[in-house]
Amino acid sequence: MRVKYAYLDEQFPALDEYLPELRELVKSGEFTIGPYVEKFEGKFADYIGVKHCISTNTGTDALILALKSLGIGPGDEVITVTNTFYASAGAIVAVGAKPVFVDSDYRYQIDDTKIEAAISKNTKAIIPVHWAGMPPKMDEILKIARTHNLKVVEDACPATGAHINGKKAGSFGDVNAFSMHPLKPLNVMGDGGMIVTDSDEAADWLLKYRNHGMVDRNHIDMWGVNARLQPIQAVIATKLLDSIDHLVDLRVRNAKLLDEGLSDLKDFVYVPPRLEGYKEAYQLYLASFQRRDELIKFLIDNEIEAKIHYPIPLHLQKPGLALGYKKGDFPVAEKQADEIITIPAHQHVEPNQIEFIVDKIKEFYHKM
Protein backbone atom coordinates (compact mmCIF):
# COMPACT_ATOMS: atom_id res chain seq x y z
CA MET A 1 0.00 0.00 0.00
CA ARG A 2 1.53 3.29 -1.04
CA VAL A 3 1.26 6.25 1.34
CA LYS A 4 2.28 9.44 -0.40
CA TYR A 5 3.97 12.36 1.30
CA ALA A 6 3.15 14.85 -1.44
CA TYR A 7 -0.50 15.02 -2.41
CA LEU A 8 -0.51 18.02 -4.66
CA ASP A 9 -1.93 16.18 -7.64
CA GLU A 10 -4.93 15.22 -5.48
CA GLN A 11 -5.31 18.62 -3.93
CA PHE A 12 -7.93 20.10 -6.23
CA PRO A 13 -10.15 17.18 -7.23
CA ALA A 14 -13.14 19.45 -7.73
CA LEU A 15 -11.39 21.96 -9.97
CA ASP A 16 -14.68 22.71 -11.69
CA GLU A 17 -15.95 24.29 -8.47
CA TYR A 18 -13.35 27.02 -8.87
CA LEU A 19 -14.05 27.75 -12.51
CA PRO A 20 -16.97 30.20 -12.15
CA GLU A 21 -14.91 32.50 -9.90
CA LEU A 22 -11.81 32.11 -12.04
CA ARG A 23 -13.82 32.96 -15.15
CA GLU A 24 -15.16 36.04 -13.39
CA LEU A 25 -11.62 37.09 -12.46
CA VAL A 26 -10.34 36.65 -15.99
CA LYS A 27 -13.22 38.70 -17.38
CA SER A 28 -12.65 41.48 -14.85
CA GLY A 29 -8.97 41.85 -15.72
CA GLU A 30 -8.21 42.58 -12.04
CA PHE A 31 -4.78 41.00 -12.18
CA THR A 32 -2.91 43.11 -9.62
CA ILE A 33 -4.37 43.40 -6.11
CA GLY A 34 -7.95 44.67 -6.61
CA PRO A 35 -11.28 43.35 -5.31
CA TYR A 36 -10.47 39.60 -5.36
CA VAL A 37 -7.38 40.10 -3.22
CA GLU A 38 -9.21 42.47 -0.87
CA LYS A 39 -12.06 40.01 -0.46
CA PHE A 40 -9.64 37.29 0.56
CA GLU A 41 -7.79 39.60 2.95
CA GLY A 42 -11.01 40.55 4.72
CA LYS A 43 -12.12 36.96 4.99
CA PHE A 44 -8.75 35.76 6.32
CA ALA A 45 -8.54 38.57 8.90
CA ASP A 46 -12.02 37.57 10.13
CA TYR A 47 -11.01 33.92 10.27
CA ILE A 48 -7.91 34.66 12.38
CA GLY A 49 -9.75 37.23 14.49
CA VAL A 50 -7.52 40.22 13.73
CA LYS A 51 -8.16 43.66 12.26
CA HIS A 52 -5.93 43.55 9.17
CA CYS A 53 -4.62 41.05 6.64
CA ILE A 54 -2.12 42.14 4.01
CA SER A 55 -1.51 39.35 1.52
CA THR A 56 1.91 38.73 -0.01
CA ASN A 57 3.37 36.49 -2.70
CA THR A 58 5.05 34.09 -0.22
CA GLY A 59 5.23 33.30 3.48
CA THR A 60 8.89 34.26 3.42
CA ASP A 61 8.03 37.76 2.18
CA ALA A 62 5.30 37.94 4.83
CA LEU A 63 7.99 37.36 7.49
CA ILE A 64 10.42 39.85 5.93
CA LEU A 65 7.78 42.55 5.59
CA ALA A 66 6.44 41.88 9.09
CA LEU A 67 9.92 42.46 10.56
CA LYS A 68 10.45 45.57 8.44
CA SER A 69 7.09 47.01 9.46
CA LEU A 70 8.30 46.91 13.08
CA GLY A 71 11.46 48.79 12.17
CA ILE A 72 13.78 45.82 12.65
CA GLY A 73 17.02 46.09 10.70
CA PRO A 74 20.80 46.30 10.88
CA GLY A 75 22.26 46.11 14.38
CA ASP A 76 19.21 44.33 15.78
CA GLU A 77 19.00 40.76 17.03
CA VAL A 78 15.94 38.57 16.63
CA ILE A 79 15.46 35.37 18.61
CA THR A 80 14.03 32.23 17.02
CA VAL A 81 14.22 28.46 17.34
CA THR A 82 16.95 26.36 15.74
CA ASN A 83 14.68 23.63 14.40
CA THR A 84 12.47 25.36 11.86
CA PHE A 85 12.32 26.01 8.13
CA TYR A 86 15.18 28.09 6.71
CA ALA A 87 12.92 31.10 6.12
CA SER A 88 12.34 31.83 9.83
CA ALA A 89 16.02 32.79 10.07
CA GLY A 90 16.45 33.82 6.43
CA ALA A 91 13.87 36.57 6.90
CA ILE A 92 15.85 37.97 9.86
CA VAL A 93 19.01 38.11 7.78
CA ALA A 94 17.10 39.58 4.82
CA VAL A 95 16.22 42.70 6.87
CA GLY A 96 19.84 43.06 7.93
CA ALA A 97 19.37 41.79 11.49
CA LYS A 98 21.09 38.87 13.24
CA PRO A 99 19.31 35.62 14.11
CA VAL A 100 19.90 34.32 17.64
CA PHE A 101 18.87 30.71 18.09
CA VAL A 102 17.23 28.97 21.04
CA ASP A 103 16.96 25.23 21.67
CA SER A 104 13.78 23.20 21.13
CA ASP A 105 11.64 21.81 23.93
CA TYR A 106 10.07 18.38 24.37
CA ARG A 107 7.34 19.31 21.86
CA TYR A 108 9.85 20.27 19.11
CA GLN A 109 8.97 23.94 19.71
CA ILE A 110 11.04 26.89 20.92
CA ASP A 111 11.91 26.27 24.59
CA ASP A 112 10.39 29.30 26.30
CA THR A 113 12.48 28.68 29.43
CA LYS A 114 15.66 29.32 27.40
CA ILE A 115 14.59 32.54 25.69
CA GLU A 116 15.64 34.98 28.43
CA ALA A 117 19.24 33.74 28.35
CA ALA A 118 19.38 34.63 24.64
CA ILE A 119 18.29 38.26 25.14
CA SER A 120 20.98 40.92 24.77
CA LYS A 121 20.86 44.72 24.65
CA ASN A 122 20.43 44.45 20.88
CA THR A 123 17.46 42.09 20.95
CA LYS A 124 14.41 43.66 19.31
CA ALA A 125 12.03 40.79 18.65
CA ILE A 126 11.17 37.13 19.09
CA ILE A 127 9.91 34.96 16.23
CA PRO A 128 8.04 32.09 17.85
CA VAL A 129 7.46 29.47 15.16
CA HIS A 130 4.32 27.33 15.12
CA TRP A 131 6.61 24.60 13.92
CA ALA A 132 4.87 21.79 12.02
CA GLY A 133 1.54 23.47 12.80
CA MET A 134 1.92 23.12 16.58
CA PRO A 135 1.57 26.31 18.63
CA PRO A 136 4.51 26.98 20.96
CA LYS A 137 3.78 28.22 24.50
CA MET A 138 2.54 31.63 23.38
CA ASP A 139 1.41 32.93 26.79
CA GLU A 140 4.84 32.35 28.31
CA ILE A 141 6.56 33.86 25.26
CA LEU A 142 4.35 36.97 25.33
CA LYS A 143 5.12 37.42 29.02
CA ILE A 144 8.88 37.40 28.30
CA ALA A 145 8.40 39.81 25.39
CA ARG A 146 6.45 42.24 27.58
CA THR A 147 8.98 42.08 30.40
CA HIS A 148 11.86 42.89 28.03
CA ASN A 149 9.94 45.23 25.74
CA LEU A 150 10.40 43.04 22.65
CA LYS A 151 8.21 42.74 19.58
CA VAL A 152 6.70 39.38 18.66
CA VAL A 153 6.40 38.20 15.05
CA GLU A 154 4.69 34.81 14.94
CA ASP A 155 5.90 32.55 12.19
CA ALA A 156 2.51 30.93 11.75
CA CYS A 157 3.40 29.94 8.17
CA PRO A 158 2.49 26.26 8.64
CA ALA A 159 -0.30 26.79 11.18
CA THR A 160 -3.51 28.07 9.59
CA GLY A 161 -6.28 26.51 11.67
CA ALA A 162 -4.23 25.95 14.84
CA HIS A 163 -5.31 27.65 18.05
CA ILE A 164 -4.81 27.80 21.81
CA ASN A 165 -8.13 27.72 23.65
CA GLY A 166 -9.86 29.22 20.62
CA LYS A 167 -7.32 32.00 20.06
CA LYS A 168 -5.85 31.41 16.62
CA ALA A 169 -2.20 31.03 15.73
CA GLY A 170 -1.27 34.38 14.19
CA SER A 171 -3.37 36.46 16.60
CA PHE A 172 -0.88 36.64 19.50
CA GLY A 173 2.08 38.64 18.23
CA ASP A 174 2.40 42.20 16.95
CA VAL A 175 2.66 41.46 13.21
CA ASN A 176 2.45 37.82 12.12
CA ALA A 177 3.05 35.72 9.02
CA PHE A 178 1.33 32.86 7.18
CA SER A 179 2.15 30.85 4.08
CA MET A 180 -0.09 29.19 1.49
CA HIS A 181 2.74 27.15 -0.07
CA PRO A 182 1.33 23.91 -1.55
CA LEU A 183 2.34 21.85 1.51
CA LYS A 184 0.66 24.05 4.14
CA PRO A 185 -2.80 23.35 5.57
CA LEU A 186 -4.34 26.23 3.59
CA ASN A 187 -2.70 26.07 0.19
CA VAL A 188 -3.12 27.63 -3.18
CA MET A 189 -1.97 26.50 -6.64
CA GLY A 190 1.49 27.95 -6.18
CA ASP A 191 2.84 30.45 -3.67
CA GLY A 192 1.03 32.82 -1.39
CA GLY A 193 1.38 34.45 2.01
CA MET A 194 -0.37 36.72 4.49
CA ILE A 195 0.62 39.20 7.17
CA VAL A 196 -1.93 39.77 9.93
CA THR A 197 -1.99 42.47 12.60
CA ASP A 198 -4.23 44.55 14.83
CA SER A 199 -1.95 47.56 14.37
CA ASP A 200 -3.40 50.23 12.04
CA GLU A 201 0.03 51.79 11.73
CA ALA A 202 1.77 48.57 10.65
CA ALA A 203 -1.06 47.71 8.25
CA ASP A 204 -0.95 51.13 6.64
CA TRP A 205 2.82 50.87 6.13
CA LEU A 206 2.59 47.29 4.84
CA LEU A 207 -0.13 48.07 2.29
CA LYS A 208 2.09 50.71 0.76
CA TYR A 209 5.44 48.94 1.07
CA ARG A 210 4.08 45.76 -0.54
CA ASN A 211 3.08 47.76 -3.62
CA HIS A 212 6.09 49.98 -4.45
CA GLY A 213 5.26 52.47 -1.68
CA MET A 214 2.39 53.75 -3.82
CA VAL A 215 -0.42 55.88 -2.45
CA ASP A 216 -1.90 56.32 -5.90
CA ARG A 217 -0.80 55.82 -9.46
CA ASN A 218 1.42 58.89 -9.55
CA HIS A 219 2.70 59.14 -5.97
CA ILE A 220 4.82 57.10 -3.63
CA ASP A 221 5.31 57.70 0.10
CA MET A 222 8.47 55.58 0.34
CA TRP A 223 10.62 53.13 -1.61
CA GLY A 224 8.78 49.85 -1.61
CA VAL A 225 8.78 46.46 -3.30
CA ASN A 226 6.39 44.31 -5.27
CA ALA A 227 5.34 41.50 -2.92
CA ARG A 228 1.75 41.18 -4.08
CA LEU A 229 -0.38 38.04 -3.92
CA GLN A 230 -1.61 36.92 -7.33
CA PRO A 231 -5.40 37.50 -7.61
CA ILE A 232 -5.81 34.01 -9.08
CA GLN A 233 -4.42 32.60 -5.83
CA ALA A 234 -6.67 34.90 -3.81
CA VAL A 235 -9.68 33.41 -5.61
CA ILE A 236 -8.53 29.87 -4.79
CA ALA A 237 -7.76 30.76 -1.18
CA THR A 238 -11.08 32.54 -0.62
CA LYS A 239 -12.93 29.37 -1.56
CA LEU A 240 -10.61 26.94 0.19
CA LEU A 241 -10.82 28.92 3.42
CA ASP A 242 -14.42 27.65 3.74
CA SER A 243 -13.07 24.13 4.24
CA ILE A 244 -9.90 24.79 6.23
CA ASP A 245 -11.36 23.60 9.54
CA HIS A 246 -12.57 20.41 7.89
CA LEU A 247 -9.18 19.83 6.24
CA VAL A 248 -7.37 20.35 9.55
CA ASP A 249 -9.81 18.04 11.32
CA LEU A 250 -8.89 15.27 8.87
CA ARG A 251 -5.25 15.80 9.82
CA VAL A 252 -6.23 15.75 13.51
CA ARG A 253 -8.09 12.48 12.98
CA ASN A 254 -5.00 10.92 11.39
CA ALA A 255 -2.73 12.30 14.11
CA LYS A 256 -4.95 10.81 16.83
CA LEU A 257 -4.87 7.41 15.14
CA LEU A 258 -1.08 7.60 14.95
CA ASP A 259 -0.78 8.76 18.59
CA GLU A 260 -2.89 5.78 19.67
CA GLY A 261 -1.17 3.27 17.42
CA LEU A 262 2.31 4.36 18.47
CA SER A 263 1.44 4.38 22.18
CA ASP A 264 2.03 0.59 22.17
CA LEU A 265 5.67 1.23 21.26
CA LYS A 266 6.73 3.49 24.14
CA ASP A 267 10.11 1.72 24.44
CA PHE A 268 11.04 2.77 20.90
CA VAL A 269 8.92 5.76 19.94
CA TYR A 270 8.45 9.17 21.56
CA VAL A 271 5.30 11.07 20.67
CA PRO A 272 5.18 14.67 21.96
CA PRO A 273 2.51 15.41 24.56
CA ARG A 274 -0.65 17.09 23.28
CA LEU A 275 -1.30 20.00 25.62
CA GLU A 276 -4.81 20.69 26.91
CA GLY A 277 -6.51 23.43 24.87
CA TYR A 278 -3.94 23.39 22.04
CA LYS A 279 -5.32 22.58 18.61
CA GLU A 280 -2.54 21.58 16.23
CA ALA A 281 -2.86 21.92 12.46
CA TYR A 282 -0.49 18.97 11.85
CA GLN A 283 1.18 20.46 8.82
CA LEU A 284 3.68 17.73 9.73
CA TYR A 285 3.20 14.78 12.07
CA LEU A 286 6.47 14.50 14.01
CA ALA A 287 7.64 11.83 16.45
CA SER A 288 11.05 10.51 17.60
CA PHE A 289 12.12 6.97 16.77
CA GLN A 290 14.98 4.78 17.89
CA ARG A 291 17.18 3.48 15.06
CA ARG A 292 15.70 6.27 12.98
CA ASP A 293 17.82 5.84 9.87
CA GLU A 294 17.07 2.11 9.61
CA LEU A 295 13.38 2.69 10.24
CA ILE A 296 12.99 5.41 7.62
CA LYS A 297 14.65 3.18 5.05
CA PHE A 298 12.28 0.36 6.02
CA LEU A 299 9.25 2.67 5.69
CA ILE A 300 10.35 3.97 2.30
CA ASP A 301 11.02 0.39 1.12
CA ASN A 302 7.40 -0.27 2.10
CA GLU A 303 6.18 2.70 0.03
CA ILE A 304 5.48 4.88 3.06
CA GLU A 305 6.92 8.24 2.07
CA ALA A 306 8.31 9.35 5.41
CA LYS A 307 10.63 12.39 5.62
CA ILE A 308 12.88 14.17 8.12
CA HIS A 309 12.19 17.79 9.16
CA TYR A 310 15.07 18.41 9.55
CA PRO A 311 18.20 16.30 9.84
CA ILE A 312 20.31 19.46 10.39
CA PRO A 313 19.13 22.24 12.73
CA LEU A 314 19.71 25.80 11.49
CA HIS A 315 22.63 26.55 13.82
CA LEU A 316 24.59 23.67 12.22
CA GLN A 317 23.87 24.72 8.63
CA LYS A 318 26.71 26.53 6.81
CA PRO A 319 25.42 30.08 7.53
CA GLY A 320 24.57 29.05 11.13
CA LEU A 321 28.12 27.86 11.74
CA ALA A 322 29.34 31.14 10.22
CA LEU A 323 27.47 32.96 13.01
CA GLY A 324 29.69 31.12 15.50
CA TYR A 325 27.41 28.25 16.49
CA LYS A 326 28.77 24.75 16.91
CA LYS A 327 27.69 21.19 17.61
CA GLY A 328 26.59 20.81 21.21
CA ASP A 329 25.10 24.32 21.50
CA PHE A 330 21.50 23.05 21.39
CA PRO A 331 21.54 19.46 22.62
CA VAL A 332 17.77 18.92 22.61
CA ALA A 333 17.27 20.02 19.00
CA GLU A 334 20.40 18.13 17.93
CA LYS A 335 19.16 14.90 19.52
CA GLN A 336 15.73 15.41 17.96
CA ALA A 337 17.36 15.95 14.56
CA ASP A 338 18.86 12.45 14.88
CA GLU A 339 15.55 10.85 15.87
CA ILE A 340 12.61 12.61 14.25
CA ILE A 341 10.58 11.26 11.37
CA THR A 342 7.67 12.98 9.65
CA ILE A 343 4.93 10.44 8.99
CA PRO A 344 2.45 11.27 6.20
CA ALA A 345 -0.81 12.18 7.98
CA HIS A 346 -2.28 14.87 5.73
CA GLN A 347 -5.92 15.07 4.68
CA HIS A 348 -5.50 12.67 1.77
CA VAL A 349 -4.23 9.84 3.97
CA GLU A 350 -7.02 7.42 4.90
CA PRO A 351 -7.42 5.66 8.27
CA ASN A 352 -6.56 2.27 6.71
CA GLN A 353 -3.27 3.75 5.51
CA ILE A 354 -2.51 4.96 9.04
CA GLU A 355 -3.20 1.44 10.28
CA PHE A 356 -0.78 0.12 7.66
CA ILE A 357 1.90 2.59 8.78
CA VAL A 358 1.48 1.63 12.45
CA ASP A 359 1.60 -2.09 11.57
CA LYS A 360 4.79 -1.59 9.61
CA ILE A 361 6.46 0.34 12.44
CA LYS A 362 5.45 -2.44 14.86
CA GLU A 363 6.82 -5.04 12.48
CA PHE A 364 10.12 -3.14 12.33
CA TYR A 365 10.62 -3.03 16.11
CA HIS A 366 9.24 -6.47 16.89
CA LYS A 367 11.43 -8.37 14.51
CA MET A 368 14.57 -7.01 16.18
Ligand X SMILES: *Cc1c(COP(=O)(O)O)cnc(C)c1O
- Site for ligand X, rule CB under 6 A: 58-60, 84-85, 87-88, 129, 155, 157-158, 179, 181, 191, 193
Q: Closer CB to ligand X, residue 67 or residue 87?
A: 87
Strand partners, 183: none
- Residue 187 beta carbon to ligand X: minimum distance, rounded to whole angstroms: 9
Nearer to ligand X, 247 or 262 (CB): 247
Q: How far is the CB of 352 from ligand X (least distance, A)?
A: 29
How far CA 132 is from CA of 136, 183, 219, 228, in Å, comes to 10, 11, 42, 25
Nearer to ligand X, 84 or 109 (CB): 84
Residues 6+ away with beta carbon under 8 Å from 269: 262, 287, 288, 289, 290, 361, 365
Please state the closest distance from residue 148 (CB atom) to ligand X, in A: 23
At 130, the amino acid letter reads H
What 8-state DSSP symbol labels residue 49?
A: T
Least distance (Å) between residue 168 CB and ligand X = 16
Query: What is the CB neighbour count within 10 angstroms for residue 79?
Result: 26
For ligand X, give the closer residue by CB, 136 or 158: 158
Count other Cβ atoms within 10 Å, centred on residue 30. 17
Question: CB-wise, 157 or 306, nearer to ligand X?
Answer: 157
Could you please report the per-residue DSSP string of 7-18? -GGGS-TTGGGG
**From the CB of 135, what's the least distance to ligand X, in Å?**
12
For the chain, the maximum distance between any two Cα atoms, rounded to a whole number of angstroms, is 72
